[in-house]
Structures are given as C-alpha cells and as structure tokens.
Structure 1
C-alpha cells in the first residue's frame, strides 16, 4: 500500500502506526474499512470507527481529545459557512466566526425549548415518581413460613421431592419447603426503558451542548474585551475590529453575548435537572443494559398517556437534533474529506486577506516594488510566489489532534496551517514550530498570516538593499556622485536611500545613454525597492533610511515611531528588527512588529 504524506512530502510503503485523518493521499486504489472504495489521489480520512483498514493492512486513526469535541464542531460549522459565502460570489467574506453560526448556536433550539416546557410541566418528574409498572410472577421453592400463594404445581412438586418434607405420618406429609408463587413490580416495561434511555441521551446531548455554548460565549467575550483592551496597540484593535465588524457590531456582540449567556444558563439548569432524575426514582429501577432502538414502537402508553407521550415527543426531537452524529461511516468519511477541501479554501481566503495591504490581487497576482506577487493553489496547498519563484508554501490540514512530532521539522518554505483547537492561548509567537494556527475562532487569524507573509516579502526587499550595480560606466559614475542617496565607489553604485524624482530621471537618462540595458533595469529595480523601503510598513508614511557602512540601515518613522533595523547579527548572518512602541510582542502589535534572521550572501 503506497501513500503520499502531504506534510513531509514523503512516500510510504504501508500504513503508519497511527493514521492521522487528512494527512495522506492514496497512490493506489484501495477500500477503506470494507465500505468505501478509494481512487488514486483520494484523501485518506477517518470514518468515525477509529480504525483504518486498507485491504489487508490495519492501523488505528488518531482521535481528538474529548474536551475538544465542542470546539471542533464549532470550527467545522464556521469553516463550512464561510466557504459557502465564497461559493455564492463573496470574494472576501470575513474570515472570523460568521454571524449566522453565532446566532444559530447561541440561541435556544427546538429541542431545548420543548425540554423546557416538559420539565416545567413536570411530566418527567411525574413518571419518575409514579411510573407505569407491570407485575412479574416467579415460582420458587421456599420455606413454608414465607409462602403466601401456592401454584397449581405445588402438590405435584412436593410429592416428587422428598427433600422438601418436614415429616411424614399416616395422615400425610408435613412440608418443610413448598413451590410458591411470588409477585413483584416490573419496572422494565418498554415505555420505562424509553424513559431511562432518553435521560441518558439527553445527558450526553446537553453536556456537549454546554461545552459548545461555553466555547461560543468565551469567543464572544474575548471579542468584546478585545475591542476595549487598553494594553493593545490601537492599529491592531482597529484592524481586527474592522474584520469582526463585518460579522458583528459591538452592540450586536454585546446583545448576542447576553443571549448566549441566557441559553447557557438554561441548558445548564436542564442538565442539572436531568442528572437529578437519574439519581432517584424510576431511572434506578431500569437496568442500564436494556437498550432501545432509534425508531420508537408507538405503544398506546407512549401515544395517549398524559405524561409518557411527552417522552416520545422528546425522543423524536432529540433524534432530529443528533442526526449528524448518527451518520454511516461512508457519510463521515465524505464529510471529513469535504472538510479538508473547505479548510483549504478557507486558508486561501485568509492568505488573500493578508495580502490586501500589498495591493488588490487580479487573477491571483499583483505588482509590488518591481516584483510580481502571485498566489497559486496546488492541490490542497497554497503557494506564495514572487516573480514566479515559490517563497512560501502553505499546507492546510484540518487536524483535530495535537500535531505529531514528525511535523516539527520541515523545509523553511513549508508551513502547516492547522486549526490549533487544542491550544488555549498561542499569542506569544506567530509560528508554533513549523505550523501556523488558522481558524475562524482566532481573532488574530489574519494577523498571523500577515506576519508570516510580511516576513517573506521583507526578505525579498532586503535581498536587494545595497547590492551594487556594476560595472558602472565612468560617465554614469560622475552623475551618480552628485546625487544624495547614491554611493559610488569605483565602478560600483549602491542605492542606499530614496532619491528625488528629478535625480532619478537624470540617472535613468545617463544609464540609457552610457550603459547596457540590464544595468539600467537593475538600477530601476533598486529605485522601486527603495521607494517601498522608504515608507513605514505600519502607517505608510515616508520614513528616511540611515544607511550603515556594512550595508545595513536604520529608520525611525516620525508619524508612528516605528523603528526598523537591518544589521549584522551577533553570530553569523543578518537580522531584521521592526519595533512598534519600542517592543516586538505579537499579542500587542500583531504583524506590525517582528524580528527574524536572514541569510545574506553579499
């Protein structure tokens, strides 16, 4: 069995010890768990069984932690909703949690409304205290003193079992034990089994629902607190609030937070009530081993009894609410494969949002600083290209588990994009190893992608700074020596700072008359790069560069006080540092501050 590992780019001959859903592509046809044939290049995803059997090979699927299931479900719904917006023609919907999902998940649904009515009317409590029962008769041999009712077979049994005699005389036998009939209440009738299993299923549903509501409430509270935070930079707040504002205004957020809180309290009270019913009364009389099929048998009691008929109604509502959890393995497989496709489309959306500051993308490309930036989808992956050279490759993977150890060392251009559902707080760094958290549940999602893109494109810009244009004709050198911002040494010319338009035109004329065309193009390229470098990357205001003798520079923006340093590192190589308010903290500044090493060959 040949598989292709999307993360490491390696080909496997056989199944790994643990199979991660969505990580592998098939290189040959196979059948998964004997129910779904998979073609070549099909995604190998989990089908909900926890087992991966491809023909004769078997390995377990990695399973997510139980406490992340609510967040995972919310993540799935959000990604699916956003991708649907893209499919309807909205090229740039907000990549944050959609309003439809927040409203749908945060408000009371039909099952919870029905359950509230039934609990308020006391139907379930009435059943718990005064259930319908049946009489169950048993025949057993017991002491004469305990026998209350004899059976039709008592005398026959006594005649044939002398060990039950106390004594025998001419008058007859005096029994010591007799076969007697005992009756007891039978609580395990079908209707009571339905009641008991309904409480079990409601307990499970409400527990999941409570976790989902708590996750949603935490997200709304985080968004509301974020907009009112005093320790974050105002540009970061403005940018993220603009994205959130496409989904919710602050007033709507506060209102939805109250509605979600109300639903949370209601569901919590219902769960407490259901668990109370399981601690007393009828529930304890019905063995847990007695099960009920998904389709109810409509008995007269379940149809007409004033209390039990509400059990049947709740059962139907619960079955409808949990339809997604009752899917066949083939349907689960198809849904997981579609999630990987949707997550790839969502990652592309976040990438396009991050690139908006570099200009609008037309047909996936834009012109910037004499370079052509373009994005391209290659299978599920996304590539960021500069002048048709791949500078960054994003590998979207909707992994619901913690990333395995073998994904922590990848080529520098490859970055895994994954939801990071298991992370509580990851705002101290942009990347976690070789992975980037990309999720609609993360307010910083565009900031993370933007910081990564900014680093890649800043490296492109720095690669050309102070690189000499050579060999320089003498007449061009004479012209260059008189222009501020240019440095001429012998037959080499360096563009170290932005020069006036008139001086730039003079140099271009001199190059056109006295130098080869490629030298003129190289000079034009340096000028356009310096035009970008000479503007503050945070506020876009002009920011003069102060060149250093070693080919580096420093710059301080007079408008927002952003400080930039391009210098030799303490060890080997170079370092670029960009500080806002004197600090480089991602949580505070987002993509507006950064520090990273650069390999420089000149």
Structure 2
C-alpha cells in the first residue's frame, strides 16, 4: 500500500518512527549496535482493536438495515401507454399538448393520446440515515483493508523469522550461522505476537470484509447516495434516536469517526517525522552492519545530530564513521573516503508512474561513487516489478555504479543487506585497488624481483606479501647494521600495514598468509574456518575483481531476496552457476558480467 508519490507503507513509517525514538533516547553507538532494529513489539498492532471488534459484532445489524431499510413514499413520473396510466398530473397534460408524437389521433377536435405522463408512488431509501449506513459500509471496508494489509505484512515479517530459523538447519558458513541465530533471537525476544495469533485475527478480518462486500448488492447500497458529503459528527434525527437498528449504526459511525480522526492525526505526525527518523534508522543500521564486518565503536561517544564522528576498531585496522548534513554517513580509512551511506525516504519500488521512477533512477545514476543508497522498500512491491528493474533496485551482487539496498524494520535481512554492500566497498573494492601496495624508494633496490615483491619502476617496488625479517633485510642491508631509520623504512611500514586488510579473514577475522598470484592478484585460505578470499582477473575485460567464498556455502542467485537468505553479507563477486564444477572455483566478473564458462554454464549477462 505504497503511495503514488513514493511514500512508503504506513506500517514502515510508524515502525521506523517508533524505533528512531528509542535510538534517540539511548543516544550512543554502543547501544545502537545492540538495539533490535526489527519491527518493535507487534502485540498492539496484531490484536483486534475496539473498532475491529465493533465492526465484527455489529455486522448483523448493519446487514439487516441494508437489506430491510426504512423507506419513504415518493412520487415518480414516467411515460406509459395511455391505457395503463393510473393518474395523470397537470404537468402530464401540458406535456401532451406540446408533444404531438405522443398523440394517437385527433377525433372531432379532441386528442386521443398514445402515451401520457403517469404518476405513481415508489419507495425511496435515498435519505440521510440510509446514506450514513451506505457510506459506513464503504468506510469500514477501507478500514478493514488497511488492517488486513497491516496484519499480512506483519505475518510476512514473522514468516521471514521462521524461514531464518529453518535456515539455521541448512548447510552454510558457521560464522553466518552464529550471526543469523543471534539476529533471530534478538528479534524474537522483542516480538510477543505469534504467527498463529496474527493469522487467526487476519481470518476474522477477512471474513468481516467479505460480509461487508456482500452488502454492495443490497437496496441501501444500490439506491442511497454514497458520494454525498456527510459531516463526521452525525445529526441526531428521529431514526438515530428512536430506532434500535439505526441507533446502533449511529454508534458504530461515531466509533469509526473517533478512530479515523485519531489515526489521521497519528499518520500526519508520523509522516512529518519519518524523514529524520529514517535517517537515524539507517545510521544505526550502518553501525550494526559494520559490526558484522568486525568493526565496533571504540567508546560510547554520544551521537547528537550532525558532525558526529566515531572511531571504529576492527581486526583489519581502524575506520572513521561520521554523520554529515542530511543524515549521510561517511566511512573513511585515514584520509581516504571509502563510501557514503545515503538514506532516502522515497520508496523506490513503489507503484509510481514510470516517468517518476525514471527521474529517481537518473538521480541515482548521477550520485558520485562509491555510495550506498538505502530506501524503505518492501519485498511485495519489488516482486511486482520487472526483472530488470528489480535487479536495479535490489541487485544480485554489486559492481560498477551505486549500491542500492532496501532497508526497513519489517524485513529482518536488512542488516545482512547493508553489511554486504559495506563489505563490497570497505573490503572488496580495496582488495582490487590497494593490492599490491607500491613503495617509492630513495634508491634502486639491491635485489631484482624477490619472492615478496616485484619491481614497479627503477626506484619503485610492488609488495606481494608480508616479508620475513631476513627477506626485508636482504632488500635493505642497512637494517642489519642497525643504522638509523630511513624514509624507505617508513614507506615500507606504511605499505606493509595494508596487509592487515588482505590477511584478515572476512568471516572469522583471524590473520592468515597472503599467497601472491600472477597478474597482481592474491588469494588467502583461512586456517580456522576454511574461507577463501582474494582477487581474480577477468578474461574478457582484463579487470581485477574480488572474491569471497566461505566453506559450506550454497548460494541462490534467483534474485536479491534469495541471495539475502542464502549468502547474506558473506559474498563479493558471484560464483558461476554451473553445477558441474567445484563451488567457488569460478566467478562472474562484476564489471562486465561475463563468466569464463559462458555460454554453457548457466550464468546470465546483465
């Protein structure tokens, strides 16, 4: 039930606002990292409210009134044959005199009529009280439709929890297994509503809406004016005062009016607060996702609006996390900006006119890279899009261009989605850009290409792996004679510090040795968890791309949602879809979208 202007689902709006208020009250990155960002306690929303129960209990009275309403006699005029006319009003004689086509003949100066305007009495139900009953059916139907959508969306969210619980029993990386277990446990601990209770209430509301729709063929709904403007506060007429059925309909109308007024005010307040709340929500989600990658805040620095900077420590070094104007999160390593996380309150997957969506996509294309754009889209809306558009708004793997990820409290996998996008920019892109690090020496090296470096110029070397003390001493004999440190020593130390990024396992964060490969690529295999990561070279486009393959991983690349469920954050470039090769032995290039096994491997080009 997204808006044609791109406003997100009302349930997302209210959930984000509620979570943002909790985050502001806690106010520091440590508590944000531990907060539950899944939909808050759903018991209030899933329970049937006063109006819901009133609708169910008063359906019999409303149906009886629509079937057997009070009516009034009214006079109607119609053109009939003269032999069946019962009463001809004066206006009928005047009409006969002016319409000669209705004359049968003129005999001896007298008109013998063929058709005349006859008057008859009819039952009239189109008056104030019945208009109230008819419009009440319409308005209660709208209310039930909103509630049904809300409960259905919540049920889908709990179904995600159930699917994640089942995923705990499937073959996957044990590190991701631990993350998923903790994520599900945190969400379940704050969610008191059960799927059974939601489905029970959903069935009751669906049954009530079906009975309301059955009233559309009743006399009141067919004859009463359902478009006439009625005041919210009813006039106390004789029927509403003295007739039992109409008195109960009036009471039900007043219940609806009170509920509608309260919801309208709450909805207006939530809509005005949502842009800021969603920025806070995405900000907290970025911290949670960075924790998945091993980066946690060094202290509980209060987060107070803009210009807040937090230092994150991780197994591969330190990062700087900061908030700028507009809620844009910037992540940097030293003086180098790694990525910007940009929240937008527009639901990019909403059912909007295509020119509107085209304008949104054009703005995304013009966003400077590297960047991650987070938007509050729902899976049901994405499923209604064309495959190409769905791939654009929730891609199966990242590559060139801005990373676009749907983030909202109703889908538990939002944390893994954000972590996957951050892994691509914080780790994957750095693998390809920063390996091998190069060092400018003050003088040509004493050795030619060694096992841990190669010449990249007359006084420049590219470091392929961390050298031993003996290997480094062979490059610069001054280190053995304990001479004062030189500028070359500082340059080497700076370059070798980058190997902390290459050597650290992306999954379990332990240090391992880098194995240099040809064409400036590398590969590592974790001795603890068996994860393989590194870089490869694409044959068709000759560009380097990053890889990550946790042991025991089975990836479903059908769409972005299935990738969330099966791989989560633990993927960089996508593996080849060929079922006849060893898993993780061949990959599809994220830049040109080609695979070495095409066209027979099953991989699709972009």
Shorter-normalised TM range: 0.7 to 0.9
User: What's the offset of the Cα at 1:385?
Assistant: 2.0
Q: 1:450 to 1:286 in 2, by over 3 A?
A: same
Q: Which residue of 1 aligns with 2:386?
A: none
Query: What whole-Å deviation, never above 9, does each CA across 1:379-427 have from its counterpart, x for those lacking one?
Result: 2322222213322122211213444241452332133221233313877
Q: C-alpha distance in 2, partners of 1:399/1:409? A: 16
CA contact (8 A) 1:240 1:444 kept: no
Q: Which residue of 2 aligns with 1:578?
A: 548
Query: What whole-Å deviation, never above 9, does each CA across 1:51-99 have from its counterpart, x for those lacking one?
Result: xxxxxxxxxxx635xxxx8x71121122111111112216416464323
CA contact (8 A) 1:395 1:415 kept: yes
Q: Which residue of 2 aligns with 1:539?
A: 508
Q: Which residue of 1 aligns with 2:273?
A: 338
Query: What whole-Å deviation, never above 9, does each CA across 1:458-498 have from its counterpart, x for those lacking one?
Result: 24466554434442789x979xx9xx995597977765545
Is 1:593 aligned to 2:571, yes or no? yes
387-396 or 511-520, which deviates more: 511-520
Q: 1:307 to 1:509 in 2, by over 3 A?
A: farther
Q: 1:280 to 1:539 in 2, by over 3 A?
A: same
Q: Which residue of 1 aligns with 2:286?
A: 351
Is 1:86 aligned to 2:26, yes or no? no
RMSD: 4.6
User: What's the offset of the Cα at 1:242?
Assistant: 2.1
User: What's the offset of the Cα at 1:549?
Assistant: 5.3
Q: 1:175 to 1:537 in 2, by over 3 A?
A: closer
CA contact (8 A) 2:505 2:531 kept: yes
Is 1:266 aligned to 2:204, yes or no? yes
Give SS of 2:201's match. helix
CA contact (8 A) 2:327 2:342 kept: yes
Q: C-alpha distance in 1, partners of 2:477/2:261? A: 70
Q: Which residue of 1 aligns with 2:396?
A: 429
Q: C-alpha distance in 2, partners of 1:511/1:440? A: 59
Give SS of 2:203's match. helix
Q: C-alpha distance in 2, partners of 1:259/1:500? A: 63
User: What's the offset of the Cα at 1:277?
Assistant: 1.4
Is 1:108 aligned to 2:48, yes or no? yes
Q: Which residue of 2 aligns with 1:278?
A: 216
Give SS of 2:188's match. coil
User: What's the offset of the Cα at 1:268?
Assistant: 0.5
CA contact (8 A) 2:13 2:271 kept: no
Q: 1:528 to 1:181 in 2, by over 3 A?
A: same
Q: Which residue of 2 aligns with 1:377?
A: 324
Give SS of 1:544's match. coil
User: What's the offset of the Cα at 1:457?
Assistant: 2.3
Runs of 5+ in structure 1 lacking a partner?
A: 1-45, 49-61
Q: Which residue of 2 aligns with 1:34?
A: none
Aligned pair partner of 1:322 in 260, 264, 270: 260
Aligned pair partner of 1:455 in 424, 445, 451: 424
User: What's the offset of the Cα at 1:554?
Assistant: 1.5
Q: C-alpha distance in 2, partners of 1:423/1:167? A: 75
Q: Which residue of 2 aligns with 1:32?
A: none
Query: What whole-Å deviation, never above 9, does each CA across 1:503-540 have from its counterpart, x for those lacking one?
Result: 99999994995355543433333444334432311012
Q: Which residue of 2 aligns with 1:18?
A: none
Q: 1:549 to 1:218 in 2, by over 3 A?
A: closer
Q: Superposed, which structure 2 residues align to 1:171-250 within 5 Å?
A: 182-229=120-167, 230=170, 233-249=173-189
79-88 or 267-276, which deviates more: 79-88
Count of residues in Structure 1 that have an aligned counterpart in Structure 2: 518
Q: Which residue of 2 aligns with 1:97?
A: 38
Q: Which residue of 1 aligns with 2:243?
A: 305
CA contact (8 A) 1:543 1:555 kept: yes
**Larger strand percent:** 1
Q: Superposed, which structure 2 residues align to 1:336-485 within 5 Å?
A: 336=271, 338-356=273-291, 357-362=294-299, 363=301, 364-368=310-314, 369=316, 371-402=318-349, 403-404=357-358, 405-410=361-366, 411-421=368-378, 422-424=381-383, 429-431=396-398, 434=402, 435-458=404-427, 459-460=429-430, 463-471=433-441
Q: Which residue of 1 aligns with 2:532?
A: 563
Q: C-alpha distance in 1, partners of 2:373/2:484? A: 46
Q: 1:549 to 1:414 in 2, by over 3 A?
A: closer
CA contact (8 A) 1:135 1:185 kept: yes
Q: C-alpha distance in 1, partners of 2:462/2:481? A: 18
CA contact (8 A) 2:431 2:546 kept: no
Q: 1:397 to 1:173 in 2, by over 3 A?
A: closer
Give SS of 1:559's match. coil
CA contact (8 A) 1:240 1:443 kept: no
Higher RCO (CA-CA < 8 Å; seq separation 6+): 2
Q: Which residue of 1 aligns with 2:5?
A: 63
Aligned pair partner of 1:521 in 473, 478, 490: 490
User: What's the offset of the Cα at 1:275?
Assistant: 0.7
506-515 or 578-587, which deviates more: 506-515
Give SS of 1:398's match. coil
Q: C-alpha distance in 2, partners of 1:464/1:177? A: 97
Give SS of 2:498's match. helix
Give SS of 2:9's match. helix
Q: C-alpha distance in 2, partners of 1:107/1:502? A: 71
Q: C-alpha distance in 1, partners of 2:124/2:365? A: 64
CA contact (8 A) 1:472 1:515 kept: no
Q: C-alpha distance in 1, partners of 2:92/2:546? A: 103
